[in-house]
């Protein structure tokens, strides 16, 4: 990577940073509703190689994406047009530059990611978090990992235009190897839960049907949940849907006279409860119950939240019919992307064969499989100083 950096920029790198992607085991579309999520950081991620320059310019290059972008340092405070990929890191740089009273110099940057783009494994959060962390270090701000996650989320809101919750950025910053992160997205209280799978693997299946949160459909779900909260407030004061227990929801659901709002709210409330139960099951080593809760999560995302689609449903239903699969569901924002399955290790090859065959026959697409390994959160890989 340093050789490529030197060839592109003509000088050595100062430091290399890495931030992981994530897979969410359960707890989908609950993060922006103040609920619980249960993701783990994975070994796919984004590496940022960086060095200062004397030209007072910010130069952005990616091994994976176009275009190459160069900006004077005083023009880093506004997003670029046409949903340019540079907006993800640029929004983070703008915030750190503001905290530091401006950028003292320019920087040459090279991003390299092995998170499959459009797969719903949070490539965008990985880019944001690695940039926020790098500039926090380089500018001497030394933000906490929670503050890094907040900077990254704000970049996605203000520069990329996606009103996401904080889950993706939080786990990219705070993940821990061999653990999943049980996060309360309202209070940001979290617990690292050891993952003991005992002969079971976490298998990610890429539908190769691109997942795009910035298509507008994601933001529509956010607005629907906000409308549901407004309706429920006529009877019960809440800030987020996830503050409702299933019993609370049964008492106030009559305020949701719009059938679509009722379905959206029902998913959030039930998914928040499922996530609590799934964490308890994992702590008790009850992977069968965990798998059943994953299945129920997918059905809710399919029927109540309507964010799955033919490709993800086909992958999940094929998994459900395969021996050795404890549970399977879509993961990420939906509208394409990936599924996550718990598969007994001795059944992985049969799982791949069966799911591939069914998926290609029904959709004409080819699935791709990854065995997920857990990872630590953002960190420095190499510092020349």
Instruction: Give the H or E element holding residue 110.
Output: strand 106-113
Burial letters for 163-172: b for 16+ Cβ neighbours within 10 Å, e otherwise? bbbbbbbbbb
How large is the average pLDDT for residues 159-164? 86
At 69-110, the pLDDT tens digits run: 999 999 989 999 887 899 999 999 999 999 999 999 999 999
User: CB–CB of 20/379 below 8 Å?
Assistant: no
Alpha-carbon gap, residue 178 to 195, rounded angstroms: 6
At 164-193, the pLDDT tens digits run: 889 999 999 999 999 999 999 999 999 999
Token readout for 39 is: 């993701």
What does the pLDDT read at residue 122? 73
Answer yes or no: is pLDDT of 354 > 90: yes
What does the pLDDT read at residue 64? 87
Rounded to 5 degrees, φ, ψ at 315 are -60, -45
At 82-93, the pLDDT tens digits run: 878 999 999 999
Instruction: Give the H or E element holding residue 129.
Output: helix 123-138
Answer yes or no: is pLDDT of 115 > 80: no
Answer yes or no: is pLDDT of 2 > 70: no
Ramachandran assignment for 151, one of left (phi > 0), alpha (psi -120 to 50 degrees), beta (any other):
alpha
How large is the average pLDDT for residues 303-311? 95
What does the pLDDT read at residue 119? 62
Share of the chain above pLDDT 70, in %: 96
At 313-351, the pLDDT tens digits run: 999 999 999 999 999 999 988 888 899 999 999 999 999
More confident: 2 or 27 = 27
How large is the average pLDDT for residues 31-58? 94
* Domain residue ranges of the chain, discontinuous segments joined by +: 2-194+375-383, 200-371
Alpha-carbon gap, residue 152 to 164, rounded angstroms: 11
If pLDDT is split at 50, 70 and 90, which confidence band does 378 have?
very high
How many residues appear in the chain? 385
User: CB–CB of 211/164 below 8 Å?
Assistant: no
pTM over 0.85: yes
Identify the architecture of domain 2-194+375-383 in CATH. 2-Layer Sandwich (3.30)
Token readout for 242 is: 């996830």
Q: 28: closest CA among 290, 366, 326, 302?
A: 302
Q: How many CB atoms within 10 Å of residue 253?
A: 18
What does the pLDDT read at residue 138? 96
- Across the chain, mean pLDDT equals 93
Query: Within 13 Å and on the Cβ side, how many CA atoms surround 130?
Result: 27
At 200-228, the pLDDT tens digits run: 999 999 999 865 544 578 789 999 999 99
Strands 368-371 and 36-53 come out as unpaired
Share of the chain above pLDDT 90, in %: 84
The one catalytic residue in 168, 258, 346, 376 is: 168
Answer yes or no: is pLDDT of 383 > 90: no
How large is the average pLDDT for residues 363-372? 94
What does the pLDDT read at residue 120? 62
If pLDDT is split at 50, 70 and 90, which confidence band does 62 have?
very high
What does the pLDDT read at residue 382? 83
Helix axes 348-363, 310-320, angle to 10 degrees: 140
Q: Active site includes 168?
A: yes
Alpha-carbon gap, residue 319 to 329, rounded angstroms: 9
Distance of CA 62 to the CA centre of its chain: 20
How large is the average pLDDT for residues 245-272? 97
As a whole number of Å, the end-to-end CA separation of the chain is: 18
How large is the average pLDDT for residues 357-363? 98
Q: What letter does residue 82 receive in the DSSP assignment?
A: T
Class in CATH terms, 200-371:
alpha beta
> Is 200-371 in the same CATH topology as 2-194+375-383?
no
Instruction: Give the H or E element holding residue 383.
Output: strand 379-383
Alpha-carbon gap, residue 342 to 328, rounded angstroms: 6
How large is the average pLDDT for residues 255-261? 97
């Amino acid at each position: 990577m340093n050789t490529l950096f030197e060839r592109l920029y003509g000088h050595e790198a100062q430091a290399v940073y890495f931030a992981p992607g994530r897979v969410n085991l359960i707890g989908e579309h609950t993060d922006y509703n103040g609920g619980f999520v249960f993701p783990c950081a994975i070994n796919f991620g984004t590496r940022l190689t960086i060095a200062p320059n004397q030209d007072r310019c910010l130069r952005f290059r990616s091994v994976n994406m176009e275009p190459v972008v160069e900006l004077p340092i005083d023009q880093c405070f506004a997003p670029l047009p046409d949903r340019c990929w540079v907006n993800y890191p640029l929004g983070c740089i703008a915030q750190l530059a503001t905290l530091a009273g401006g950028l003292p110099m320019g920087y040459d940057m090279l991003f390299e990611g092995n998170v499959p783009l459009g797969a719903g494994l949070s490539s965008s959060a990985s880019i944001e978090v690695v940039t926020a962390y790098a500039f926090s270090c380089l500018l001497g701000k030394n933000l906490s990992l929670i503050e890094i996650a907040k900077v990254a989320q704000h970049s996605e809101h203000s520069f990329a235009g996606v009103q996401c919750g904080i889950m993706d950025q939080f786990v990219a910053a705070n993940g821990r190897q061999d653990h999943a992160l049980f996060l309360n997205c309202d209070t940001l209280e979290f617990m690292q839960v050891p993952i003991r799978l005992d002969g079971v693997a976490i298998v990610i299946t890429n539908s190769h049907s691109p997942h795009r949160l910035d298509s507008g459909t994601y933001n529509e779900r956010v607005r629907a949940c906000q409308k549901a909260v407004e309706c429920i407030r006529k009877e019960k004061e809440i800030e987020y849907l996830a503050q409702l227990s299933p019993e609370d929801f049964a008492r106030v659901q009559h305020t949701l006279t719009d059938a679509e709002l009722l379905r959206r709210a029902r998913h959030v409330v039930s998914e928040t409860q499922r996530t609590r139960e799934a964490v308890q099951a994992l702590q008790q080593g009850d992977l069968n119950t965990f798998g059943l809760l994953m299945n129920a999560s997918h059905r809710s995302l399919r029927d109540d939240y309507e964010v799955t689609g033919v490709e993800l449903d086909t992958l999940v239903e094929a998994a459900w019919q395969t021996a050795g699969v404890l549970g399977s569901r879509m993961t990420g924002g939906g509208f394409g992307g990936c599924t996550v399955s718990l598969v007994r290790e001795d059944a992985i090859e049969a799982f791949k064969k069966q799911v591939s065959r069914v998926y290609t026959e029904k959709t004409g697409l080819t699935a791709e499989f990854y065995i997920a390994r857990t990872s630590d959160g953002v960190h420095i890989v190499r510092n020349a100083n």
